[in-house]
A and B are shown apart, each in its own frame.
Chain A
Amino acid sequence: DTAVSQTPKYLVTQMGNDKSIKCEQNLGHDTMYWYKQDSKKFLKIMFSYNNKELIINETVPNRFSPKSPDKAHLNLHINSLELGDSAVYFCASSHRGQFNYGYTFGSGTRLTVV
């Protein structure tokens, strides 16, 4: 059973397209996150979200938007894709009341914009 699963694993698309990456967790966590890892391997937080609060990193363009249909899902929608959006995107989850296990990350989605 995969704890945090992301789909697709690889995504190649053209500039200007709109795409979505899905994330699901089966851990019963109440908070989910999206991270971006660029070619220099830096991991940057994009969003964190629970049922009460959405925190957006101020450097994230508004072309990126998280959508959470329920507590187990946090999808990432990207409009008007640009070459610079090429990166690996990681979803993660955690539970506010359980700190012994930290964050659980998915295996990543490698997005390539051509």
Chain B
Amino acid sequence: DAKTTQPPSMDCAEGRAANLPCNHSTISGNEYVYWYRQIHSQGPQYIIHGLKNNETNEMASLIITEDRKSSTLILPHATLRDTAVYYCIVRARSSGSARQLTFGSGTQMTVLP
């Protein structure tokens, strides 16, 4: 699975959009971009994933560049409860074996009041 690079930390003002970047310059054609987050003392939580088109769900939007070498997770209106470590993971989607999800160090995002 391709490696990802994320800034170690960032702040966001409450009520503003949070934009979390991720670089995955070695991504291959069959690999998806997944985003998870881990709020303090909780298990990781799935947010969103995509292949090449932009995606949106009730939690966030995912913008993937045309060359797929980077992506941005957008939380449209950040709240204090969005303070967490955000992980960007690139992984091939497999319907076969028990594929494993590999976490990097992520971005600690702090939402400030």
Chain A interfacial positions (CB closer than 8 Å to B): 4, 31, 33, 35, 41-45, 48-50, 53-55, 57, 90, 92, 96-97, 99-108
Contact = CB atoms under 8 A, between A and B. Distances in A.
Contact of B44 (A43, A44, A55): A43
Interface residues of B, number: 25
Q: Is the interface of B mostly helix, strand, loop or mixed?
A: loop
Interface stretch (B15-23, B60-68, B69-77, B98-106): B98-106
A101 B46 contact: yes
Contacts, number: 63
A31 B98 contact: yes
Interface in B23-65: 32, 34, 36, 38, 41-46, 49
Contacts of B98: 31, 33, 48-50, 53-55
Contact of A53 (B32, B45, B97): B97
Interface of B: 32, 34, 36, 38, 41-46, 49, 85, 87, 93-103, 105
